Amino acid sequence: MRWRWFIPLFCWSIGPTPVAAGADAQLHLLVREYGHQKTILEFPLNYGEVFTIRYIHSVDGTPVFEVFRAVKGVGIRLEQTRFLMFGAGMGHWKGHGKVVQDGRWTKIEEIHAPLGSFWLRVGSVGVDHTILLNGKAWNLSETLAGRLVEVSLSEP
């Protein structure tokens, strides 16, 4: 069974919406294509706020949610991962958060892994790499499938 989720119940309401480059905001979440440094997406964000990247696991076909937080002096920090099945590449290792069962969902909470920024190879339309913010969804796979993008913060 293939999962198609648009219900952003796994995304905290944080308020940002896309803005044009140069708009007044002290902090932005940026998505840039590798090698071009061209900003593809830009969202105003405050320190402490979260965003989620959702995708469909390539082996078991179920949704995975990774929750990130904007942290002053750190940049982006991975906070939590949620999934339905322990598929290939999914799981927990000692010292990397704590595992919690929430109904059918397995959560790895309290990860607090400082990333600063990270590179994402955007999957095909079936993988549906999607940024979730404030109840809205931006499917990166629809326009950037197969491309390498950097997810970062523009810190003041």
Radius of gyration of the chain (CA): 15
- In this prediction, residue 60 has a pLDDT band, given cuts at 50, 70 and 90, of confident
Q: How far is it, in rounded angstroms, from Cα 75 to Cα 73? A: 6
Q: Which residues contact 95 (CB under 8 A, 6 or more apart)?
A: none
Q: What is the pLDDT of residues 27-57, one digit of tens each?
A: 999 999 988 878 999 989 899 999 999 999 8
Give the residue among 114, 118, 115, 126 at the shortest CA–CA distance from 149.
118
Q: Residue 113 carries which side chain, given as an amino acid letter?
A: A
CB distance 90 to 61 below 8 Å = no
Q: What is the pLDDT of residues 93-143, one digit of tens each?
A: 666 788 888 888 989 899 999 999 999 999 999 999 999 987 889 999 999
